[in-house]
Amino acid sequence: MVYTNLKELIALVAQWKGQGRRVVFTNGVFDILHIGHVTYLGEAKSQGDKLVVGINSDASVKRLDKGPDRPINQESARAGVVDALRCVDAVIIFGEDTPMEIIAALVPEVLVKGGDYSPEVSDPADKRYIVGSDVVRAAGGSVVAIDMVEGYSTTAIVNRMKGN
């Protein structure tokens, strides 16, 4: 389900935790869904029992400077496509530059990012730093980086479509 209300998602996650379920959180733009995304999300889910995915809002994608034409798909469409995947249990769209507020509210047992990030980096100024890793670790959770599927990225797909 796609949640627009963080309080509702907090209640759901608390219910899952009360049932002894291990909650995993990841986030991203997920603009043009491809095999790299699907593989990544499946691997993220394998780290626990329930997978929550934070989707960057259209405004936050613009601030990330992914390119003048990004996002290609609107946030509601991106969230709906990700939510339709069997491995995903809940989706929330966030408008901030980072998902820190969501991570601090949910305190997942596992925080997952792609292999271009590093769980070992502790300096928030380093672009490989995983936002929220300090919160998750302080609560006894783990932080995991999952290798990317070589040759697949939304940027590469967009460039191929443009003939670049």
Task: List beta partners, residue 112.
Answer: 144
Domain that holds residue 47: 2-161
Task: List beta partners, residue 56.
Answer: 94
Q: What is the pLDDT of residues 112-163, one digit of tens each?
A: 999 999 999 999 999 999 999 999 999 999 999 999 877 767 666 766 667 7
CATH of the domain at 41: 3.40.50.620
Q: What is the pLDDT of residues 4-60, one digit of tens each?
A: 999 999 999 999 999 999 999 999 999 989 999 999 999 999 999 999 999 999 999
Distance between CA 16 and CA 21 in Å, rounded? 5
Q: What is the pLDDT of residues 53-89, one digit of tens each?
A: 999 999 999 998 887 888 999 999 999 999 999 999 9
Q: Are 66 and 46 in contact (CB under 8 A)?
A: no
Q: What is the DSSP letter of 4?
A: S
Q: CA triplet 140, 113, 91: central angle to 5 degrees?
A: 90
End-to-end CA distance of the chain: 37
Total tally of structural domains belonging to the chain: 1
Structure tokens at 44: 């993220």
Check residue 32 and give its pLDDT.
87
Q: Are 113 and 145 in contact (CB under 8 A)?
A: yes
Can you tell me whether residue 144 is helix, strand or coil? strand
At which residue do the structure tokens 């990841």 appear? Answer: 26
